[in-house]
Every structure is written in C-alpha cells, then in structure tokens.
Amino acid sequence: MIADLKSATIEVWEHRELLEQLTRRDIKLRYKQAAMGFAWAIFMPCLIVLSGLIIRFAMAQISGQTLKRVDIANIAIKGVGWAFFVGALGFATASLVGNSNLVTKIYFPREVLPLSSVGAQAFDTSIGLLTLIVILPFLGVRLHTSFVWIPLLLLLLVLFTTGVSLFLSCANLFFRDVKYIVQVVLMFGIFFTPIFFEPSMLGARGAHLAMLNPLTGILEGLRLSVVQGHNLIYPLSVVVKGVERPVWEPWELVYSGVFAIVAVFGAAVMFRRLQHLFAEYV
Amino acid sequence: MTDVAIQMDAVWKKFQRGERHDSLRDLVPAVARRILHGARPAGELGRDDFWALRDVSFEVQRGDALGIIGHNGAGKSTLLKILTKLLRPTLGTYMTQGRVGALIEVTAGFHPDLTGRENIFLNGSIIGMKRADIERRFDAIVDFSGIGDFIDTPVKRYSSGMNARLGFSIAAHLEPEILIIDEVLSVGDYTFQGKCIRWMQDLLKSGTTVIFVSHNMDAVLSLCNSAILLDHGQVASKGELTKVVGDYYKSGGRWKPELLAQSNARTVEFSCAHGTDVLVDPGERVTFTHTISASTDCELTPGFFVTRGDKPVVDTTYARMRGHPLRLREGETATVSWSLAFNLPAGVYEIGYHVGDFGGGYHEHQSRACIVTVGDDPRVRGDAYVALELVESATGVRTPGPARLGAGAS
C-alpha cells in the first residue's frame, strides 16, 4: 500500500508539467468558443445561490420571518464549495473514458487525467471565490480571527473531492453506468448536504444525521468561520422553543478530515493497482 | 557494447474474445460466478480467452535495431503495448533500460480545438518531454514538420497530412534511448518520407536502440540488424535478419499458378534441388527444374524470373532469346533446368516461372514458386554479377541439349 502511494506520488510529481498542460488544456477548452466567457465560472454558483434564496424565502414566509442579507452570504459561501465539488466530479468521472485515445496509446500516470479535471475546476472556483470576496463585505461580513480556518477547510474540500474523483473516474472506466449514477446522485445531493439550510433547522436528531455527511463539516465550517466568525474549536448551539439544537460540534472537523484523507489515499491506492488494466478495459 | 537495452523473458498475454461486462448491472452475476467457481489461475485459459502472446523471449543490445515482423494479428501490436507499458504481461517479465519513446499513433494527444503551437506543448508533455526541452526544440519541430505559418491555426483546420507531419515531428524530437516505431514512416508526402528515413538513419548512427515494426521488408532489411518473426503470438523465428525475413515469406505460403490462356501445355512440376525454401550464401548456385507437358503439338517459350519485393531482378524467356522455340508433340514432356548463381545482395528473392507461346502470349504464370534467401556477406554489396546457366533437356528431342547463356552486369 505504501509502495503504491509512493510510486503514484513519484510518477505524478515527475509528470507535473503534463498535469499543468492538461489542466491548461481543460481550462482553455472551457473558454474557447464559449459565449459566456469567464461569466461561465460564476454561472453555477449564482444559480445555486438563487435557488437557495427562493427556498429560504419560502421558509421565511411560512414562519413569518424576513430574509436577511447575511443569509445570502451563508448560502453563497457553501454554494461555491458545492459547485466545486459537483463540477470537479462531473468532469473527472468522464476524464479517463473521454481521453481513451490517450489511455490506450501513450503511457503516463493516468492519475493526471482526473487530477487535471479537479485542477481546471479549481481554477473556475477561484474565480467564484474572488467574486465572493468582493461581494461579502456588502453582505455584512467583517474580518474575523476565525478566518485562519479557511485554508484548512479548503484543503480538506480539495482532498475529499480529489479522492472521490480518482475513485469515480476509475469506476466509470470499468462500468459505464457509473456516470449516470453520479449525475443523479449529484443532482439530488444538494438536498442531502446543508447548502440551502443549516443542520440545526432539522432539529437535534436531524442535525446530527446531517453531520454524518462528510461535506457538512467542511461547508458548515466555512460558513461559520467566514460569516459568523465562529472559532471551530468550540461547539455552538441554538435554543429553539427551549430545546437545544447543535449548530457546530468540533468533532465534525476531525470526522471530515479523516474522511478526506482516507478518501484520497484509498482512492489513490485503488487507482494505482487497477491502472494497468485501463488500456485493456477502456 | 554488451549492455542489454530490452529483455523479454517468457512473456505471455491473455485476452478475452467478445464483450465484457461493463455496466454495474452485469458485475453482480460475474462476481457471484467467480465466488462459486473460484478465480482462474493466470496461466489457464477460460472459455473465451486466448493467448495473444505465447512465451515470447528476446533480447536487444543497446544500439541495435530489431525488426518485428509477422502477419496481421500475429501479436506485434500487443508486444509493443507491453514494451510501452500500456499492457502488463499475464505471465513472464520484461525490462527496458533507458527512456522509451514511441512513434505509434503520433497524433493521439492532439486536441482539434487547440492550435498547432498549443498542441506541440500538450502532445510533447504527454509523450514525456519536459517543457524546457519543448521550448528549446520548438523551432526545430515546426521546421521539420513544414507547418510554417499555420502553427497558430487550430489543428482541426489542418489537412490530415499536416496533422500527421506535426505529430511525427514532435515525437521525432523526443530523443529517447529506446525508440519504438510502428509502421509510421508512410506519413506525409515523398519529400517528408525522405526526411523521415534520413532522420531514422542518423538516429541509428547515434546509438539509439530501435524496435521497428513493419510490413515493408526492404525497410526492415535496410534499417535493422536482427529480427523476430511472430506467428499467432509465438516467436516463429529469430536472429539473423535475412533468415527471419525469409521465414516470413515462407509462412505466407505458395501462390497458386495463374492460368492465363486456354492452354495446350502446362507445368507438371517446378522444383528446386534444395527444396522450396532455400538459404544460400552470396554466389551459391541453385538449380531449378521445370517440367512441362503438352496436350497438343505446340511451340513454347518457358520463362524463369526472380523478383525481390515486387521488383524484377532476373527475367528470361530463354527460347525467344535463342531464336527458336521448344517444340513439343501431343503427350510429350520436356524438362528445362535453370541454374542461377545468386551473386546478389543479401535479401529474400522469389522465384517464379511462366510458360508462353513463342509469339509472346502467356499460358501460365506463377510468382513465388520458390523462395531463396541470400545470406549477408559484407563482401557483396550493390549490383552483382549474375551468371545464368541454362540447361535444357527434353524427351522426344527436337531442340539440341545443354546450352549456356550468360547475362550480367557488374
């Protein structure tokens, strides 16, 4: 297992220029002959935020509350994260099969194909993040010391996404229906991940269930540290009608971290062990 | 130099015929079957399995050029895919020492929407070049390809020839220690092909180890210094170049004689004293006998010819050269002997015969009745003196016996 990881790391590092070229290619191809140009990068996050606002508006109407500016920030920060996850998986799942002419003809570490999909999506997302940085102050977000958590949370998001991408690209090579399963799961995944809502809205029991989703810790962590200025070392809860509901529990971070690391290492080992079959099965 | 660049040790590769299960729905029954019957050992064949390579072993010394020949489906491509790490052998081991570069499907890494310039960087890094190397050789690549001002045009607007030339030029500048070439020298027009051949010869001089797969035996003979012949995944012959190339022709089998006209005479037998496949040293004499029988009275001109890869080397219709035909009565049989000293350069020669009217029409024509392989001799090169000795004898004698005929150039 260690040997697999070692050979994967060494080979990908040796081919880092190839990874860079393929990432550039993926980015170029997205913007070449594209009517929307760079607006494309924030198209998906914008749609996610809009859908979230409609849902939150409806919820506010029922409970007789008003929608606050900070709610837009809450949804936007998680929406950008989710858009990264969905976009990267969408492209990465098809990356090996889509490049079958390369896979069957030229040897290079195949990891670079899904990795370049994640890289190209990271480029798009960073445009989204930059836009967000400009907008957030107008939504009432102020500088907090809790911003120190942001790099760690983004790292965990990238690691987890990379792990799942490696796994799915490989699975789709052997089983072509994986792509469709992924599409369906990602389409409805937004309702199983707290993007439009917060776990505490589901009640004490529901909040704990929602926290089992490894993305909850990462995305809620981002929201709390950026928008609420909450230091993630400490738990946070709200009391609704005399019942305490959890908003944040520090173990979520550990849980998501373990998930991300296991995902990326596990998938890397699996990918390495199977890649000699790619040219034959693709 | 004695260091080994490539070593294949008893390599076997198993493939499966027909469809595989490639959706998750089919996985469950397949797994269930596997649990019930147990996994098959690597060395055993399943119902739909077959061996694409069987027990292939060979060695290539650094700086040598090995030709891999064989008929379609013999396993050449599978072997190359193992050497380029695309496939892993089912059994056996192999090793390559040095950077391996391949001139196979040179445009595989191209993306149609990117420009020639972008594709040079992309394809260059896909085949394993460093960015700095590509930058350094960029002008040379563009120059070699002859793409010129089109370098900033998307390759989807290139002609297929331009596409292939650019791909070849990138791969040609990889500068590998081991180069694997699969039938790509036919890229581009006449001028570009000439450029490729010169480039290959320079490469061989510079000490690059080359594996060359081709159906063009003249190219194999001129570029390689040893060869292996694959047949149904097995090494059918290996070692000395001309012997292996000879075996390749032999494995192609004899051709059926062609009967060209309503014939009143036909060949009973055409044979060589040493068998139908002969390996000779340069200058060695081989005698062929040609037996013809007539069904009616007729005047014939038997002929004998030698070709090398479709190019005529020796061609004779002896009777016309002598000014009178071979006359046969109904039921008569004549035997003509052809004796040829193979003072020819190393290579594979196909021997054929024909039977014609004295007027010039053919009755019968067969190429590749025998195959003679002339071994390599460093003293023999270029044009060679050909002494053709013709011995004629016929039962029911009408024409005088043994005659000598000299023909040649030096």
Provide the pLDDT for residue B367: 81
Across B349-357, average pLDDT: 85
Q: Which of A34-38, B206-210, B313-317, B342-346 has the lowest mean pLDDT?
A: A34-38
Give me the CATH number covering residue B302: 2.70.50.60
CB of A28 within 8 Å of a chain B CB? The answer is yes
Sort out which chain B residues have CB atoms less than 8 A from A178's CB and list them: 24
The total of other beta-carbon atoms located within 10 Å of residue A125's CB is: 27
Same domain for B211 and B339, yes or no, is no
Q: Which of A54-68, B115-129, B310-324 has the lowest mean pLDDT?
A: B310-324
Same domain for B110 and B79, yes or no, is yes
| Closest-approach residue (CA) in chain A for B16 | A280
| Percentage of residues of chain A with pLDDT beyond 90 | 70
User: Which of A105, A108, A279 has its CB closest to that of B104?
Assistant: A105
Segment B263-282, tens digit of pLDDT: 677 788 888 877 777 888 87
Residue B23 lies in a domain: no
A212 phi, psi to nearest 5 deg: -75, -20
Q: Which of A110-114, B83-87, B143-147, B212-216 has the lowest mean pLDDT?
A: B212-216
CB of A176 within 8 Å of a chain B CB? The answer is yes
Residue that has been written with the tokens 């809860």 in this structure: A237
Provide the pLDDT for residue B182: 83
Same domain for B72 and B113, yes or no, is yes
Segment B287-301, tens digit of pLDDT: 898 888 888 888 888
* Spatial contact of B76 and B213, defined as CB atoms under 8 Å apart: yes
Sort out which chain B residues have CB atoms less than 8 A from A106's CB and list them: 84, 86, 102, 105, 108-109, 126-127
Res. A77: pLDDT tops 90: yes
Res. B209: pLDDT tops 50: yes
Q: How would you classify residue B191: left for phi > 0, otherwise alpha for psi between -120 and 50, otherwise beta? A: alpha
How confident is the prediction for chain B on average, in pLDDT? 81
Provide the pLDDT for residue B48: 79
Same domain for B63 and B101, yes or no, is yes
Provide the pLDDT for residue B38: 66
Res. A210: pLDDT tops 70: yes
Same domain for B234 and B104, yes or no, is yes
Residue B409 lies in a domain: no
Across A211-236, average pLDDT: 93
Provide the pLDDT for residue B253: 59
Residue B28 lies in a domain: no
Provide the pLDDT for residue B401: 42
Domain termination residue (choose one: B226, B250, B274)? B250
Res. B285: pLDDT tops 90: no
DSSP A184-240: HHHHHHHHHTTSSS-GGGGHHHHHHHHTTSHHHHHHHHHHIIIII---TTS-EEEEE
Q: What is the C-alpha separation between B142 and B149, in angstroms, rounded?
A: 9
CB of A25 within 8 Å of a chain B CB? The answer is yes
Provide the pLDDT for residue B395: 55
Give me the CATH number covering residue B104: 3.40.50.300
Provide the pLDDT for residue B340: 85
User: CB under 8 Å to B272, separation ≥6 — which residues?
Assistant: B278, B286, B287, B288, B289, B351, B370, B372
Instruction: Please give the structure tokens belonging to residue B126.
Output: 């896909």
Q: What is the C-alpha separation between B224 and B324, in angstroms, rounded?
A: 47
User: Which of B27, B102, B114 has its CB closest to that of A175?
Assistant: B27
User: CB under 8 Å to A269, separation ≥6 — which residues?
Assistant: A1, A4, A5, A8
**Best to test chain A binding among B126, B153, B180 (most A CBs inside 10 Å):** B126
The enclosing H or E element of B286 equals: strand B285-294
Same domain for B389 and B263, yes or no, is yes
B304 burial class (0-12, 13-18, 19+ CB within 10 angstroms)? buried
**Best to test chain B binding among A17, A172, A178 (most B CBs inside 10 Å):** A17
Sign of the dihedral through C-alpha B18, B24, B28, B34: positive
Q: What is the C-alpha separation between B355 and A106, in angstroms, rounded?
A: 53
Provide the pLDDT for residue B362: 74
Residues facing residue B287 across a β-bridge? B339
Q: Which of A97-111, A254-268, B362-376 has the lowest mean pLDDT?
A: B362-376
User: CB under 8 Å to B9, separation ≥6 — which residues?
Assistant: B57, B92, B93, B94
Domain termination residue (choose one: B250, B281, B312)? B250
Q: Which of B112-116, B216-220, B251-255, B382-386 has the lowest mean pLDDT?
A: B382-386
Provide the pLDDT for residue B392: 58
Provide the pLDDT for residue B400: 45
| Closest-approach residue (CA) in chain A for B121 | A21
Same domain for B220 and B271, yes or no, is no
Comparison of pLDDT for A3 and B394, the residue scoring more: A3
Q: B87 and A174 in contact by Cβ < 8 A?
A: no
Interface ipTM:
0.83
Q: What is the C-alpha separation between B202 and B208, in angstroms, rounded?
A: 9
Q: What is the C-alpha separation between B85 and A186, in angstroms, rounded?
A: 35
Provide the pLDDT for residue B410: 33
User: Which of B25, B102, B108 has its CB closest to that of A102?
Assistant: B108
**Which residue, among B217, B275, B279, has the nearest Cα to B245 in the 3D structure?**
B217
Residue B33 lies in a domain: no
Across B52-80, average pLDDT: 91
Q: What is the C-alpha separation between A274 and A8, in angstroms, rounded?
A: 12
**Which residue, among B146, B152, B150, B142, has the nearest Cα to B115 in the 3D structure?**
B152
Strands B209-213 and B178-182, sheet pairing: parallel
Q: Measure in Å the smallest separation between the Cα of A181 and chain B Cα atoms.
A: 10
Same domain for B76 and B174, yes or no, is yes
Residue that has been written with the tokens 């004490």 in this structure: A204
Q: What is the C-alpha separation between B22 and B347, in angstroms, rounded?
A: 48
This prediction's pTM? 0.79
Q: By a Cβ cutoff of 8 Å, what residues of chain B touch chain A? A: 15, 20, 22-25, 27, 81, 84-88, 102, 104-105, 108-109, 111, 113-114, 118, 121-122, 125-128, 130-131
Provide the pLDDT for residue A186: 93
| pLDDT band at residue A165 using 50, 70 and 90 as cut-offs | very high
Provide the pLDDT for residue B402: 43
Res. A226: pLDDT tops 50: yes
Instruction: Please give the structure tokens belonging to residue A68.
Output: 């606050």
Provide the pLDDT for residue A162: 97
Domain termination residue (choose one: B233, B250, B267)? B250
Q: Measure in Å the smallest separation between the Cα of B75 and chain A Cα atoms.
A: 15
Q: A174 and B104 in contact by Cβ < 8 A?
A: no
Sort out which chain B residues have CB atoms less than 8 A from A107's CB and list them: 84-86
The total of other beta-carbon atoms located within 10 Å of residue B77's CB is: 18
Residue B83 lies in a domain: yes
Q: A25 and B118 in contact by Cβ < 8 A?
A: yes
Res. B1: pLDDT tops 70: no
Same domain for B213 and B263, yes or no, is no
Same domain for B216 and B291, yes or no, is no
Q: Which of A76-85, A272-281, B393-402 has the lowest mean pLDDT?
A: B393-402
Across A145-160, average pLDDT: 95
Q: What is the C-alpha separation between B211 and B179, in angstroms, rounded?
A: 6
Q: Which of A90-104, B173-187, B205-219 has the lowest mean pLDDT?
A: B173-187
Residue B105 lies in a domain: yes
Same domain for B190 and B273, yes or no, is no
Q: Which of A224-233, A264-273, B40-49, B176-185 has the lowest mean pLDDT?
A: B40-49
| Percentage of residues of chain B with pLDDT beyond 70 | 82
Provide the pLDDT for residue B189: 74
Across B51-57, average pLDDT: 93
Provide the pLDDT for residue B294: 85
Provide the pLDDT for residue A40: 78
Domain that holds residue B192: 4-10+53-250
Q: B22 and A102 in contact by Cβ < 8 A?
A: no
Q: What is the C-alpha separation between B102 and B81, in angstroms, rounded?
A: 10
Please tell me the total count of domains within chain B. 2
The enclosing H or E element of B302 equals: strand B298-308
Comparison of pLDDT for B321 and A206, the residue scoring more: A206
* Spatial contact of A225 and A143, defined as CB atoms under 8 Å apart: no
Segment B362-399, tens digit of pLDDT: 778 888 888 888 877 666 555 555 555 556 555 554 44
Same domain for B262 and B233, yes or no, is no
Residue B404 lies in a domain: no
B320 phi, psi to nearest 5 deg: -70, -35
Residue B406 lies in a domain: no
Q: Measure in Å the smallest separation between the Cα of A119 and chain B Cα atoms.
A: 16
